[in-house]
Amino acid sequence: MIEILKAVLFGVVEGVTEWLPISSTGHMILLNEFVTLEVSGEFWEMFLVVIQLGAILAVVLLFWDKIFPFRFGAKPGIRKETMALWYKIIGACIPAAVVGILFDDVLEDWFYNYPTVALALILFGIAFIVIEEKNKDRRAVITDLSEMTWKAAFLIGFFQLIAAIFPGTSRSGATILGALLIGVSRTVAAEFTFFLAIPVMLGASFLKILKFGFAFSVQELMILGTGMITAFAVSVLVIKFLMDFIKKHDFKVFGWYRICLGCLVMLYFWKMY
Per-residue pLDDT of 195-254, as tens digits, reads 998 998 888 888 889 988 888 899 999 999 999 999 999 999 999 999 999 988 899 999
% of the chain with per-residue pLDDT over 70: 99
Mean pLDDT, rounded, for 134-144: 89
Residues paired with residue 142 on neighbouring β-strands, in sequence order: 184
pLDDT digits (tens, 9 = 90+) for 68-112: 998 887 778 888 999 999 999 999 998 888 887 777 777 777 777
Distance of alpha carbon 61 from alpha carbon 59, whole angstroms:
5
pLDDT at residue 273 above 70?
no
- Domain with 220 in it: 2-272
- Top pLDDT among 188 and 96 is at 188
* Amino acid, single-letter form, for residue 238: V
Distance of alpha carbon 154 from alpha carbon 92, whole angstroms:
5
Is there a contact between 43 and 221 (Cβ–Cβ < 8 Å)?
A: no
Cα maximum dimension of the chain: 66
Mean pLDDT, rounded, for 11-26: 90
Domains of the chain: total = 1
Mean pLDDT, rounded, for 11-28: 89
Burial of 124 (0-12, 13-18, 19+ CB in 10 A): buried
Mean pLDDT, rounded, for 131-150: 91
Quick one: pLDDT at residue 24?
A: 85
Count the helix, strand and coil residues of the chain and give each as a percent rounded to the nearest 5: 75, 0, 20
- The number of helices, as runs of H, and strands, as runs of E, in the chain is 12, 2
Round the average pLDDT of the chain to a whole number and report it.
89
Quick one: pLDDT at residue 207?
A: 85
pTM assigned to the model: 0.88
Quick one: pLDDT at residue 222?
A: 95
pLDDT digits (tens, 9 = 90+) for 109-130: 777 777 888 898 999 999 999 9
| pLDDT band at residue 28 using 50, 70 and 90 as cut-offs | confident
- Top pLDDT among 92 and 171 is at 92
DSSP strands (E only) in the chain: 70-71, 77-78
